[in-house]
Chain A
Amino acid sequence: MIEVLQKAVQYGEKLGAQFVEARYDDLTLRTLERTDDTWKNIQVKSRMGIGVTCYVEGVSGYSFTASPTVKDVRAAAQKAYKMAKASAPAAELRLPLTKGPSSKSTQSDTLRVKIHPSERDLAYKVDLVNRTIEAAREHGANIKNVLGLYGELHGKKIFTNSEGSSIDWNYLVTDMRCFVISKTESGALVVGLEGNGGTYGLEYFESKGNTPEDVGGEAGSRAKEQLKAQPCPAGNFRALIDERLAGVLAHESFGHLSEADFVVTGASPLTDKIGNRLGTPEASILDSGVPDIRKTGGLWVPFDDQGVRGSTTTVLGNGVLLHYLHNRGTAERLSETPTGNSRAVSYIFPPIVRMTNTYFVPGNLSEEEALEKLNTGVYAIQSSGGQVEGNGSFLFIAVRGYWVEHGEIKYPLREVALSGNILELLTRVEGATRDLHIQAGYFGGCGKGDQSPLPVGLGGPKIVIGNVTFGGKA
């Protein structure tokens, strides 16, 4: 396939493009979904196609095709060139690429796992979901609905460009989730959920805390606990956020602002702020395509979709803004090192600046010390999503929480909404626990630029924050 891609590059250059990139995805996606006793979905998808980017005078044009024939790939290169050429006169800000040395991949760029999902049959994965649901039922109460999910994504990613790069590696994501809905005596519905994914072999789902019994049992137990939970009070309180919510905060509110496509246009409030203190010394945020997955979990991205090798970038170091996240064009424009953050959700989309694994750096507190430091306030746990505006204001939904008084957990809270401005919030980070966990997966992901869902990792330790606005009951 690399030969077909090389022909696309040559053809684009012949048409007049100053730089051409071509990539090929041949991915298999498998989804298993069971609701209560019914198998809603057992599906396999084959996602195979080619994307070509042509650069003309610092303007990119993109096209794609599901057909890997030389004829259709050349047609895609022609379309990409035509789009770039037609757009070039309108550009006021150009992001040209300077040719550099070529990149080559090796076999070790593909993360090895013990049990690759392609080595187990469908019945094995069906059993994982069945066991999850049974465990949820065993530990739950007043259950109205149980949903069990398993997903896997794996396959080949090949890339070349005008520099003669030759990159070939295998992508892998596996994931298992459980959602439980229970009904309170008053008729209100409450939820409990659990699950995790990342670049794992199936041996992960046999490890402590991650077995179907652990995942289903936790989801059932949490839904049961929610039957007696109270609404969160509205107002400003001290907060302790768990690893998963910290990850959403790192990704949604700070990570997106650090993406250099927002910086070169001036849209990000982090524009021109390299070297500025934005947070307390306890606040550090990294993005890494190559985390130590055995220790922390996460997603393995050894190359981005412009062929840049994955790396670890300290975006915020001890409260100081140190680096942005880049594609090649923005890195060159801002004279920073490329960070391996140019990613596309599939061959249908051009790569744009995206995060890989984004997480807060751990501190030195134990969980007990973190609760003591919180003193009185809200302990917010897990997240069902969040949103951020270009000015740094954010809103996140924690799935559940606890009201804490004088360092002691008092009672469970229902869904908790946290809001504020990330740049203000970073100045209120008071401490972090020693643990670090990165959550990634097949289900959900980043939705930037309508390219959804792109698997990303997000995480951190538990973090104590001085003051957060909570939406709730007056």
Chain B
Amino acid sequence: MRRLAHEVLPPLAGIVGLIVVWAVVAATTSSASIPSPLAVWDALIDGLRDGTIQEAAIKTLVRLAFSFVVAVLLGTGLGVLLALNEFARRAIRPLIVALQITPFVAWVPLAVVWFGVSERAVVFVTIVGSFPAMALATLQAIRQVPPLYERAGRTLGARGWTLYRRIVVPAALPGVMAGLQQAWGFAWKALMAGELIVVAAGATGLGHLLAGQEHDVTALLATLAVIVAIGVAVDYVVFGQLDRRIRARRGLLPDA
């Protein structure tokens, strides 16, 4: 209970503080472009009641899940390949680093040229925006496995694929998890950018919803709140907790 208070209280205080500041600013400026928290809350409830938010969120999450899975498979596979083969590493790693540094939004025009104003263009941008982080994190995680584990594994009779599967991969898992969390962040950002810019006729999604709310700041903020909430929830609840559990099991948490 005390631990819960210790963990939940500070972030909660931060959120409440933010809302208070927002309410004060909204009340003092009384401008149409800064609606009060309460008005945004009402807009959010409206959006949930008529189902537009759920519909958009589900569409977005399906798109995200597909892109993320592809990016993770691609990134992990590439990371493992680069860890195994020095030539491939020296040839391909700089290209992935270049891709990682390039802002994913820069891919949007090309995606539209290649795939048209379509679902596929959005998915393309999301994958390109997130797989480099996964590939680089996987590569780094494998290369940072302490040589001792590999040596110990070999003296125990593990070699080749078995050595990789039973020793190297589990040893690299915390680093791979960090990559997963990072790739998720990139995928989420890239997807929102893609949805916001590439609006096909009849398409739904949180980004598309934002794009159609330019003249309704209250609804726009309500959608934004949903985007923030989903991002934080997945990052903290899914990846944060998974990462904690993996680290705690290995004694890698400072307070464990």
A and B co-occur in one complex? no
